[in-house]
Structure formats: C-alpha cells, structure tokens
C-alpha cells in the first residue's frame, strides 16, 4: 500500500464521528515535534500548526520528546497475567510522589474512563451507596463514568439512554455545597480543575471542607486527576498539593506523554480488603509498552525542573489574560499554572478556534455548552514559539 498522503484520492474513509469534525476541514497528522504539528488535508496540501492543546493534556512534555520516545523502540509484548518490572517501578514512583501515602497501591488500566469505573467499583465495594459528583465535571464515556458527568454529555455518542438508568445511584453537588447528611453515600468524585468544563478550578477551601465532612462520615474521596495531573496546572497532583489526601487518585494521559493509553488507579491499600475475592483484568492490562513509556516520563520529571518550565509557560499566558481582561475581550478568566481559560466576549468560542487554527495555532473549546477557550501548550514549548502563538491569539481575539 502506498504511503503517499491519501495516494491522490480525496475521499476520506475515516468516520466523521470523531472530534476531527470540530475543525474547519479534515486534516491528517503527518509529523510532530515538541509543540509543532505538520498536517495535511485530503489533497495532500500541508500546513504547520503550533499545538496549544497538548492533545487534551496528554502531551504535556512535548511531541516526540527525545527523552521519552525511546520507550517506543522497545519491543511490545503481552503475557497475561504478568506485569513487568517497569510496572513495579512506576507504581512505586507514583505512590512516593503522593506525599504521606506509603500505604497506597496501584492498579493499572487502559484509558481514563476505565480508571474512573475501577475507582467507583473500589469505593462501592468498601462502602455501598450512591456516588456524588460535582456539577461541571466530565469523568469519561463509560456508563457509570458518564452518570456522574454533567457537561458535554449531549455531544457523546454513548448518550443513548443507558446513563439515565443510573439516576438513582448518583447525585451531583454544586460547587460550595457540603451535605448535612451523608447516609447512603459511598463516595465523592471530583476534578480539582474541571477539564471539559473549560479548565475551571474548584475552590480549594471548599474541597477541604467537603473532604473533612465526608471523611468524618466514612465517605470515600476520589480525585480524578486524569486531565489536571502531571503538572498540567502546576502541581504534579493538585489534590496532594492542597493537602486533601483523597482515598483514590486517578492518573492517565500524560502518565505516558500520550504514547500509550495507560491509566493508574492509586488507592489506599485498605480498600483491597473489600475486594479480596475479585479481580479486574482485561487483555491489555499487562501490555509492556505503557509501563515502559511511564518509566521514561518518570525519569524525565525527576531529571528536569518542571516547576521552572511551568512558570516559564505561565508568564506569557498570564500577560495575555491581563490584556484580554483590560480590553474587555474575555471574562471568567482562569490562569491555572501553565494553562489559560476564558470565555471570549467579542467572538464565539467556535469562531476563535477556527480563526486561530487558520492562523496556525491550535486551541480548543470547553465549558457546559462549549463556550470557553482552553489553552494548554506543552511545557517544553520554546519561548519564541510560545510568545508568537500568544500574539496570534491576541490578534484573533481582537478580531
């Protein structure tokens, strides 16, 4: 089969039901390096784009990072039910990264939705009852994960009525609300920074009050850091940085810098006692590629000043935020470490995404109705490319 771009045939046989349809036109990824994407349309015409999206926070440390991509050179293998030495190394590294949590264990899964399902299963085995989510959260596409999700469900192919069957098993807290009565509640799941909702950070003081109240009643706490962890918004773990000490912490996406859909359910060891006679397995749980990539990511984080890298990205984004506010071009603005989000005033979010893409910068929308803009450059983006991209966005938003 020829390797030429679509081999001169302009008809695309790819489904239109993926997120490629949100951009004007259809493009294929031809090459990528750090924060730069090489794209081609169906006619073979190529274009260069600066990635201010980091693949939904999966590629926080740059496309094809040479210190990480070496993991792809290792031969892939699969031998259920045997984990690799790399898996043990990553599990140990994750538990030590979550300070004061030596009693934790790690169950690896494939993808974020499966990690959420696993966490909910652990919690409900330990303490049967309803699951409480937080309004504005997005936790995944599985039926149970979607049931505690309140944003962008209407865009989901899976939203066909099954989710509503779980209405009696879930509830949703409004940010700032602390229940007076925890009876019948198994657990609370929250995103410290709500990703699909438009990079909206939850109030840390409220999360502390909520955590203390839930813990006093024996209710478990699950921190979904699948999108907001691994320094996307500054700290490695926002919950740990805030001293919340949740019972379960979920990671995925940048755990492998986007090279493999590995997820990690990091839970307090006592939860194992309630699941002693069961197990959770699937074909690719013991795949070798994910842990190998995660080991490379861990080594990269241990050998680089990630805080300084995040601060260098944050500065131009904060400057852009100040300019947008002063010019009356945006409101509901949040700068969460090396990420910026806001609601554009003069133009719709869809128009901003399209115009920015035409100008060579890839940003993405978010929010309950897709009304917000999210900006999340890789932490490795060169300063001149970062500032050029910020200037492009400023010109786009000025219209």
Domain map of the chain by residue range?
Answer: 69-303
**Taken in order 261, 266, 269, 271, is the CA torsion positive or negative?**
negative
CA distance 330 to 318: 13
pLDDT given for residue 44 in this prediction: 83
Query: DSSP code of 273?
Result: G
Picking from 350, 380, 391, the residue whose alpha carbon sits closest to that of residue 367 is 350
Query: DSSP code of 217?
Result: T
The secondary structure of 105-130, three-state, reads EEEEEECHHHHHHHHHHHHHHHCCCE
Query: DSSP code of 63?
Result: B
pLDDT given for residue 14 in this prediction: 82
Q: Using 70 as the pLDDT threshold, list the residues of the chain that sit under it.
A: 1-10, 21, 100-102
CA distance 12 to 28: 10
- Ordered alpha helix ranges (H), the chain: 54-57, 85-97, 112-126, 143-147, 204-216, 238-241, 289-303, 306-326, 349-358, 383-398
pLDDT given for residue 1 in this prediction: 47
pTM of the model: 0.95
Would you say 368 and 138 are in contact if contact means Cβ atoms under 8 Å apart? no
pLDDT given for residue 19 in this prediction: 78
Picking from 363, 317, 305, 314, the residue whose alpha carbon sits closest to that of residue 337 is 314
The architecture of the domain spanning 69-303 is 3-Layer(aba) Sandwich (3.40)
């Amino acid at each position: 089969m020829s390797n030429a771009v679509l081999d001169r045939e302009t008809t695309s046989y790819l489904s239109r039901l993926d997120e490629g349809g949100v951009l004007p036109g259809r493009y294929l990824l031809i090459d990528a390096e750090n924060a730069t994407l090489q794209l081609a349309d169906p006619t073979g015409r190529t274009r260069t784009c600066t990635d201010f999206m980091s693949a939904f926070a999966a590629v926080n440390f740059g496309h094809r990072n040479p210190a990480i991509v070496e993991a792809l050179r290792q031969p892939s293998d699969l031998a259920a039910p045997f984990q690799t030495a790399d898996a043990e190394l990553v599990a140990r590294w994750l538990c030590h990264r979550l300070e004061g949590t030596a009693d934790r264990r790690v169950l690896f899964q494939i993808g974020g939705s499966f990690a959420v399902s696993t966490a909910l299963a652990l919690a409900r085995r330990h303490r049967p009852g309803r699951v409480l989510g937080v309004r504005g959260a997005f936790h995944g596409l599985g039926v149970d994960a979607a049931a505690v999700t309140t944003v962008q469900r209407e865009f989901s192919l899976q939203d066909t009525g099954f989710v509503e069957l779980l209405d009696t098993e879930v509830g949703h807290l409004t940010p700032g609300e602390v229940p007076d009565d925890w009876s019948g509640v198994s657990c609370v799941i929250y995103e410290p920074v709500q990703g699909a909702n438009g990079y909206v950070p939850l109030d840390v003081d409220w999360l502390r009050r909520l955590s203390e109240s839930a813990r006093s009643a024996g209710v478990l706490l699950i921190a979904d850091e699948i999108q907001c962890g691994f320094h996307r918004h500054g700290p490695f773990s926002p919950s740990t940085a805030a001293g919340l000490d949740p019972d379960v912490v979920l990671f995925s996406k940048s755990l492998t810098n986007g090279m493999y859909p590995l997820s990690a359910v990091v839970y307090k060891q006592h939860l194992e006692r309630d699941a002693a006679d069961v197990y959770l397995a699937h074909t690719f749980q013991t795949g070798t590629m994910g842990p190998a990539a995660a080991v490379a990511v861990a080594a990269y984080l241990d050998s680089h000043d990630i805080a300084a890298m995040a601060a260098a990205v944050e500065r131009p984004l904060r400057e852009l935020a100040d300019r947008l506010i002063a010019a009356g071009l945006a409101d509901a603005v949040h700068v969460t470490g090396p990420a910026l989000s806001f609601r554009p005033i003069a133009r719709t979010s869809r128009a901003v995404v399209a115009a920015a893409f035409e100008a060579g910068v890839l940003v993405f929308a978010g929010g309950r109705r897709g009304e917000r803009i999210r900006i999340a450059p890789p932490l490795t983006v060169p300063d001149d490319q970062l500032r050029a991209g910020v200037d492009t966005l400023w010109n786009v938003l000025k219209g």
